[in-house]
Structure 1
Amino acid sequence: MESKRQVPNNIALVTGASSPRDIGTAICRKFASQGLSIFFTYWKADPAWIEEFQQTITNMGVRCESLEIDLSNPNAAYEILDSVETKVRFPSILINNAAHSKSDGYLHLDAQTLDHHYAVNMRSTFLLCVEFARRFEKSDLDTGRIINLTSGQDLGPMPGELAYAATKGAISAFTRSLSQELAPLGITVNAVNPGPTDSTWMTDEIREQLLPKFPMGRIGLPEDVAQTIAFLASEEAKWITGQIINSEGGFIRG
């Protein structure tokens, strides 16, 4: 049986767990294995799978609740936190994993594409972070964790993904600045760049192209990301804040 790490609290809020191969789904499983209750959000998922997944988490001996929500809704952050407080109670761990991605490039980039990426990747993430902090300050908790997902935009270009690269890259800057504001509250704020991960977006053709760039001989898995995030959420990581963790398995860019 896997040993459990000490965690600041026993409730984790995870956005973007909509299919069996999602990074968000792997994070939920990892946290549940450590005894944390789970509240996750999803969008346009198979209702039968959502029910099955919730039962799987519940069978691990923890509570599991969920909410279907469109994160492009300006009020999504408030609705999510209202829901988790009503269905479970206020969490001490927030994982901003959900993202919007649609290929563009300079020939196709337009206002609508930018707005869609901004609404999910930036606005929902940023509002969830600050509203979490405001409610945390009124709670009886003394330790909290915010972990955002980014995609390595600081490390190299992403041609054909201008809106995605720009909006996900903003998360890094936001994370660093927010960490300074929230440190006095006992909340650490970090981001994780997992590199190319074999989740819902990867095809056989993409795998074939990427595999030679991984010196460890395999492509990253959602479970790899979950391990890193579980550490940052643990008591052992209480002195780590304002960091962008590039956990890419030695991925060679270019």
Structure 2
Amino acid sequence: MEGRVALVTGAGNPRGIGAAVCRELADKGMDVFFSCLEGEDPSPLLAELKRCGVRAGCLRIDLAPPDSAERLLDAVEEQIGPPSVLVNNAARSERDGYENLDAATLDAHYAVNLRATALLCAGFARRFRGTSGRIVNLTSGQSLGPMPGELAYAATKGALEAFTRTLAAELMHRGITANALDPGPTDTGWMSPEVREDLAARFPAGRMGRPEDAAKVVAFLAGEDSAWITGQTIHAEGGFLRG
């Protein structure tokens, strides 16, 4: 992976999957550019990545505006170079349910979870001039079961699985693979002790998923050994028992 450039979205949470992916790819020698939100401090993660001996950069950006994808792709090219790996981790998630669901909630989720991701994928592919490109889109297992109280999130992330499957068919002849990754419930700091205890009991290993677990799968999908895997939704959930 040395000398290649990765673009990772949504890496502003130090305990999140995005940050873990950045660390994993940098540890393998890849230059990393990531996005975070205004108000998030990217300095600690940037310092970590540079200590790995790679180039690193960041752009604070809201991915909801329609032009955000092109602005982010411009930034990584200007600061580090054209990426050969794109990891779409950024997501919007709010509790809703049918009693609270409205147009504004749907639109807000669509703008980040589907439109921004789709435009980043398309822009990445149009700009790509190499022979081995990788796209990994993070999902949450919407095809495996319901997510009560998260209608907008489930709808947009579920659509992302379908988008990834068709995108992969369009891009394979370019040497670009596109896959979706469902890491299952992952402890990134959002869970209460009660939720963590309940979920941990559903894992055969007796522990929650960790950001590093997801990052290792992303690193595999970003590497050369995954060249024959495309159009798949990979459920790396540690045997999580649903229901």
Q: Same fold (TM over 0.5)?
A: yes
Find out whether 1:130 has 2:130 as its counterpart: no
Please say if residues 34 and 57 of structure 2, whose CA atoms lie closer than 8 Å, have aligned partners that are also in contact.
yes
**Are 2:160 and 1:166 equivalent residues in the alignment?**
no
Q: Does 1:194 align with 2:183?
A: yes
Question: Does the alignment pair 1:79 with 2:68?
Answer: no
1:101 to 90, 93, 98: 93
- Identity of counterpart residues, as a percentage? 56
Q: TM-score, normalised by structure 2?
A: 0.98
What secondary structure, in the 3-state scheme, does the structure 1 residue paired with 2:201 have? Answer: helix
| Equivalent-residue separation in structure 2 for 1:72 and 1:251 (angstroms) | 31
CA displacement at 1:9 relative to structure 2: 5.6
Q: For residues 52 and 225 of structure 1, what CA distance do their matches in structure 2 show? A: 21
Q: Distance in 1 between matches of 2:187 and 2:40?
A: 20
3-state SS in 2 of match to 1:213 = coil
The reply on whether 1:17 has 2:11 as its aligned counterpart is yes
Aligned residues: 243
Cα shift at 1:205 = 1.6
Structure 2: distance between partners of 1:216 and 1:249: 7
Within the alignment, does 1:178 sit opposite 2:175 as a pair? no
- How far the C-alpha of 1:45 sits from its partner, in A, is 4.0
- Contact 1:14–1:94 under 8 Å retained in 2: yes
TM norm structure 1: 0.94
Gaps of 5+ in 2: none
1:44-89 CA-partner distances (Å, limit 9, x unpaired): 3443xx1122111101100000000001011010000000010011
2-side partners of 1:44 and 1:250: how far apart? 36
* 1:38 aligns to 2:27 (yes or no): no
SS at 1:145's partner residue?
strand
Unaligned runs of 5+ in 1: 1-6
C-alpha RMSD over aligned residues: 1.0
Change (3 A) 1:9 1:126: farther
